[in-house]
Structure 1
Amino acid sequence: MSAATVRSQRLMLIALDATAWFVGAVAVVGARYDFGLAAAQWEGVLIYAAAAAGLQVLLGLFTFLYRGVARIASFIEVGVLALVVLVVGVAVGVAAQWWPAGVPLGVAVLAPVAAGVCMAGGRFVARALTAVGLRRRKHLAGEPVLIYGAGNAGRQIGRLVLSDLDSPYSVRGFIDDDPFKRHLNLGSGRVIGRREDLAELARRHRVTTVILAIARADAAFIRALGDELESQGLRLLVLPPFHVIRQGRMTLSHLHEFDPADLLGRTQVTTDVGAIAGYLTGKVVLVTGAGGSIGSELARQIHRFRPKELVLLDRDESGLHGTQLSIYGQALLDSRDMVLCDIRDADALARVFADHRPEVVFHAAALKHLPLLEQYPDEGWKTNVLGTLNVLECADAYGVERVVNISTDKAADPTSVLGRTKRTAEELTAWFAQTGQRRWVSVRFGNVLGSRGSVLHTFTAQIEAGGPVTIVDPEVTRYFMTIPEACQLVIQAGALGVGGEAMVLDMGEPVRIVDMARQLIRKSGRDVEIVYTGLRPGEKLHEVLFSAGDGVRPTSHPLVSRVPVNPVAPAAVTGERVVQLVPRSA
């Protein structure tokens, strides 16, 4: 909106309010006195109206009523308007009783009411006309859409579409399965049908896009609706995470096509920021594996809590380069907080601990690809077990307050090299926590969407190459979470863990991998074949989060549970050995 248009609107409001006092005064004279006033009284009434109009403008400017602070005809603006009218009515009405010409008491009492009604009525008419004009323009120019869901989320989407001048959509109506909402007018449109009417309504209104505005719709519902709409040539848009809607930060740009992340079908993890800040702010924090998908996101989230020093350790220099660039906006790799080190090298790792003296350690460095570790089990042992032991021994030697060891759901009832090595890492962590009475914990979670080497990247690459998409079995399922929420859980575990436990996220229902593949293929618009290759050695058809007999206990976080882990001494894993460590007092 141009500055000239804004100025003209404000001048029109001033003119409306000033005129309203004359209209109100004359209307009261007509209704109360049948216009039967003496000439002197008419003069007094006109002077009264002029004085009230002048004071109205002055007070309106002083209270920012004409500065565009509040939307026209909003509750805030009408409230301020009523207060200004009351003050003007009382002030001018009292003064008018002392004027020589005199003003009838009925005019002094009733004129402010009539003037206020005129002002408010004019505003509501202007707002209604503006809305009608905007809706008409959007109806002609915007892409026609139906909104599925006439609850709070649907109302919010409708308001956004109607109020955003750049909105690409035009709401043709709402769909809702509640029969009591039929024909309900939500301001941006009416409820015009139920789910079974979708196809017919879409054809009638020439709609090609449906916006699902049910904030807590589960994965099965979204998947079924997506399949139904796709068969009819319709596109489905879904809402952002619930916390975005709840905090009122949603914009139309948050709407997105149904993607694999929406298969999670659960509320994303929320973080107790206060508890986290207490053990990260002002502390020296070390992140191993900081160049990986999880380690880098951990580092980004930890940086927000203003640690005294954030030490990023990895053996991959390119990974460190990317992480430093994402956090600091530069990647010169010339600062002491960027550490190139392999956790297999106990002596080098000890020098890092001696140099930085970390107080909190997040251990994300690991080898994680199951089939590769089945071929090279020694490599998995060297990194996931011996490397973790190096980290734990250094943390023990230098008095680290908290260690968070990042594990995997494959550590529950392990059947693979990956699962067994990560389970051993949990047991070692539990032993050190027990012997030192420290809050060292492991965090166990499932597959991470978007991490390096994840099925999301694999399927996307296979689709772009024209296929086929390879899946081990049509019934295989996995637990999934997004990278940000995985890292929130890891950080939260440092605040929740008592010591030696494995913290496990309630990740909702497992996702069928074939459903994810089909969704990606549909989204690509290509005709790609799916080929089933069979389970690989050590691979499970269905993952589990807990081992048989685990004593699962709740935590203060509704989506996090804790399970005990049997401690295993380092000597039971490797035999006695000597690592060159600098004493704690050094």
Structure 2
Amino acid sequence: MTTDAPIPCTVFRYRSHSLIRPHVEDSRVIYSPTARRAGLAAWDVMCWVVGAIFVIGARYDFRLSDVQWNSIVAYVTVGAALLVLAGFLTKFYRGRHRVGSFDEAATLGALYAGVGVIAYVIFIVLIPGLPRGIALLVPPVAVLGSAAGRWLYRLLRTRAVGDRETPTKNIVIYGAGDAGYQLLRLIATDRKSEYRVVGFIDDNPGKRNLRLLGVRVIGDRASLPDAVIDAGAQTVVLAITSAHGDFIGDVQDVIEGAGLEFLTLPPVTEMIGGRVKIGDIRPVDIADILGRRQVKTDLGAIADYLGGKRVLITGAGGSIGSELARQVHRFGPEELILLDRDESALHAVQLSIYGKGLLDTPDMALSDIRDADALRRIFEQHRPEIVFHAAALKHLPMLEMYPEEGWKTNVLGSLNVLTLAAEFDVQVFVNVSTDKAADPTSVLGRTKRLAEQLTAWQAEHANGRYMSVRFGNVLGSRGSMLQTFNSQIDAGGPVTVTHPDITRYFMTIPEACELVMQAGAIGGPGEVLVLDMGTPVKILDVAQRLIARSGKNIEIVFTGLRHGEKMHEDLFGEAESGKRSSHPLISHVTAPALAPEELNAMHTSRTGR
């Protein structure tokens, strides 16, 4: 039996009791904001009065005429009233700044300067009779008292909060820069923190005698790990958010080799607003060592071509496509159309971007790029202006067994997207390629190379800018080497490596996507933009490091190179010469154009039918 009656549901409402009754912590009442703000205003008024008394005694030895005394009383009264009035009008006494912060100090100085100028005009220019020295000296003396009281309060509060509970773990922070200082302050003021900072390590000679909140620099990299052990610490937290992977790996080897724990903070691009949180502290991941370069992107240029535009991403449910979608969304496109043939993958990326996964909006496009008719309907409905083409089959051994599938998706599917992009006047088209397209030896490499050439041909015949972006392996993608190794280690081994000397380039997914967006801003028609992947990494070294981290005794088995697999990947073909122009991590090469009508003859000669 069916019914149109609404489905009953229960709505739970939560009311925070801390909003309707006093909050008690550590058996002490936390004073209300009103009382705290009134206290600050009273403190400033007292400093104004005491400042006047101090100046009278120091400058005039309290020897003034009755007329002068009357003018001074009037000056102090008017000045105090102006101070309170201006403070509340500017919201200075209404929680505008944290007490004792640099922002509050700047506003405090401006407030006293403004009141001092107004009072000077009133009592020296308009109503003469006040000694000039009073009007000139009282404001600076009073502001010193006000600032000193605030800073003393902050110092005492920091120490009191830091001593509420006995920490369980002494740590040393590697890096006495901004991130290290932020982390120290958070730990010092968090009563629930399990950490206590007992020292800093920093390689800058200018910081040898530095103390931050009473915590001193106890050594540099050369003194590891002795300085850490001498300080009574069991853990080192790396607080250099721009550290290179090689540096992180070397420090990790030294720290963990001494039996100490090594933790780190994520790159600044992965932290909200670039601010450090205690929850950001985590164990070192292999991605920190293999990737983690500081990628500098021209945000203005990216925003110019993405902001307010209709953007289509094919393969949006994949590792690259989903991260690209998240990053593009931050630049405020008019519409972000996410296309994939996997509905579960679309559900996951919609959930990660919008916080919902209902899949009930037209910007979630379920389609296969092999289906030209279905693809056309999506272009007709949304008329995208920017296209990032990330849909592809990528697993080399699988495509060696099923080359026709690679041809249908990576070549013909790409041609479908290119043809419709040209028909609907797409302004910027970015084809996501791979380093295996450089002098290809595999089905994956050859099909992706053909996609590059088709993109170059379309660049000659379409109105917009059509380009390809080529990079190597990305860390953490589905079916990647790291996932395989971790699964093998969890299962007790063995870990399989094709060859003891095989190397690969690696980059994290966020790094790659940032540079893909940047390439779209600077790439010329028909170009292949090659991302700088750093230095190649031995796969055996990665396997050994992962096994060491696991603490298990895992065997490594060498299986031999697979058909079509290279010992060492190349980012450039032998005939290619990369040139760098506007970005230090992006090189520009050209790909020979391939007309679509040449594909049939090429496919027939290869397959014999």
> Which range, TM-score by smaller chain?
0.7 to 0.9
Residue deviations 1:260-317, cap 9 Å, x none? 2212455344444444455445555443333322233334444455555544443333
- Say whether residues 1:119 and 2:149 are aligned partners: no
Q: TM-score, normalised by structure 2?
A: 0.81
Corresponding residue for residue 487 of structure 1: 513
Q: Secondary structure at the match of 2:224?
A: helix
- Please, which of 417, 431, 451 is the counterpart of residue 391 of structure 1? 417
Structure 1 position 453, deviation (Å): 0.7
Q: TM-score, normalised by structure 1?
A: 0.84
Kindly report which structure 2 residues correspond to 1:77-226, keeping only aligned pairs within 5 A, or say none: 77-80=107-110, 82-83=112-113, 86-87=116-117, 90=120, 94=124, 110-112=137-139, 114-137=141-164, 140-141=166-167, 143-163=169-189, 167-226=193-252
Structure 1 position 22, deviation (Å): 4.5
- The one-letter amino acid of 1:13's match is L
Structure 1 position 34, deviation (Å): 5.1
- Please, which of 498, 511, 519 is the counterpart of residue 472 of structure 1? 498
Q: Structure 1 residues 111 and 145 mapped into 2: Cα distance closer, same or farther (>3 Å)?
A: same
CA RMSD of aligned residues (A): 3.7
Distance 1:54 1:359 in 2: 60
Residue deviations 1:494-522, cap 9 Å, x none? 33332222111112222333343344444
Q: Structure 1 residues 92 and 64 mapped into 2: Cα distance closer, same or farther (>3 Å)?
A: farther
Distance 1:371 1:449 in 2: 19
- The one-letter amino acid of 2:197's match is V
Corresponding residue for residue 566 of structure 1: 592
Kindly report which structure 2 residues correspond to 1:345-356, keeping only aligned pairs within 5 A, or say none: 345-346=371-372, 348-350=374-376, 353=379
CA contact (8 A) 2:162 2:187 kept: no
Q: Percent identity?
A: 53
Q: Structure 1 residues 16 and 390 mapped into 2: Cα distance closer, same or farther (>3 Å)?
A: closer
Corresponding residue for residue 583 of structure 1: none
Distance 2:71 2:332 in 1: 69
CA contact (8 A) 1:371 1:537 kept: yes
Residue deviations 1:191-247, cap 9 Å, x none? 122234333333333312212233433222210110111122222223332456896
Distance 1:57 1:336 in 2: 56
Kindly report which structure 2 residues correspond to 1:55-454, keeping only aligned pairs within 5 A, or say none: 55-73=82-100, 74=102, 75-80=105-110, 82-83=112-113, 86-87=116-117, 90=120, 94=124, 110-112=137-139, 114-137=141-164, 140-141=166-167, 143-163=169-189, 167-243=193-269, 248-265=274-291, 267-280=293-306, 283-305=309-331, 307=333, 310-333=336-359, 336-346=362-372, 348-350=374-376, 353=379, 357-436=383-462, 438-454=464-480
Q: Secondary structure at the match of 1:425?
A: helix
Q: Structure 1 residues 421 and 25 mapped into 2: Cα distance closer, same or farther (>3 Å)?
A: closer
Q: Structure 1 residues 66 and 3 mapped into 2: Cα distance closer, same or farther (>3 Å)?
A: farther
Distance 2:572 2:401 in 1: 26
**Greater Cα offset, 67-76 or 23-32:** 23-32
Q: Secondary structure at the match of 1:72?
A: coil
CA contact (8 A) 1:148 1:174 kept: yes
Structure 1 position 148, deviation (Å): 1.6
Structure 1 position 472, deviation (Å): 2.0
Q: Structure 1 residues 39 and 365 mapped into 2: Cα distance closer, same or farther (>3 Å)?
A: closer
- The one-letter amino acid of 1:559's match is L
Corresponding residue for residue 580 of structure 1: none
Distance 2:365 2:75 in 1: 80
Structure 1 position 418, deviation (Å): 1.2
Kindly report which structure 2 residues correspond to 1:25-36, keeping only aligned pairs within 5 A, or say none: 25-32=52-59
Residue deviations 1:113-147, cap 9 Å, x none? 54444334333333333344345447x43632212
CA contact (8 A) 1:89 1:112 kept: no
Distance 2:359 2:161 in 1: 53
Q: Structure 1 residues 118 and 539 mapped into 2: Cα distance closer, same or farther (>3 Å)?
A: same
**Greater Cα offset, 524-533 or 190-199:** 524-533
Q: Secondary structure at the match of 1:452?
A: coil
- The one-letter amino acid of 2:441's match is T
Distance 1:48 1:494 in 2: 64
- Say whether residues 1:458 and 2:484 are aligned partners: yes
Q: Structure 1 residues 119 and 282 mapped into 2: Cα distance closer, same or farther (>3 Å)?
A: closer
Q: Structure 1 residues 457 and 265 mapped into 2: Cα distance closer, same or farther (>3 Å)?
A: closer
Q: Secondary structure at the match of 2:215?
A: coil
Q: Structure 1 residues 454 and 192 mapped into 2: Cα distance closer, same or farther (>3 Å)?
A: same
**Greater Cα offset, 477-486 or 346-355:** 346-355
Distance 2:315 2:531 in 1: 21
Structure 1 position 370, deviation (Å): 0.9
- The one-letter amino acid of 2:565's match is E
Q: What count of residue pairs does the alignment treat as equivalent?
A: 573
Q: Structure 1 residues 336 and 106 mapped into 2: Cα distance closer, same or farther (>3 Å)?
A: closer
Distance 1:43 1:397 in 2: 86
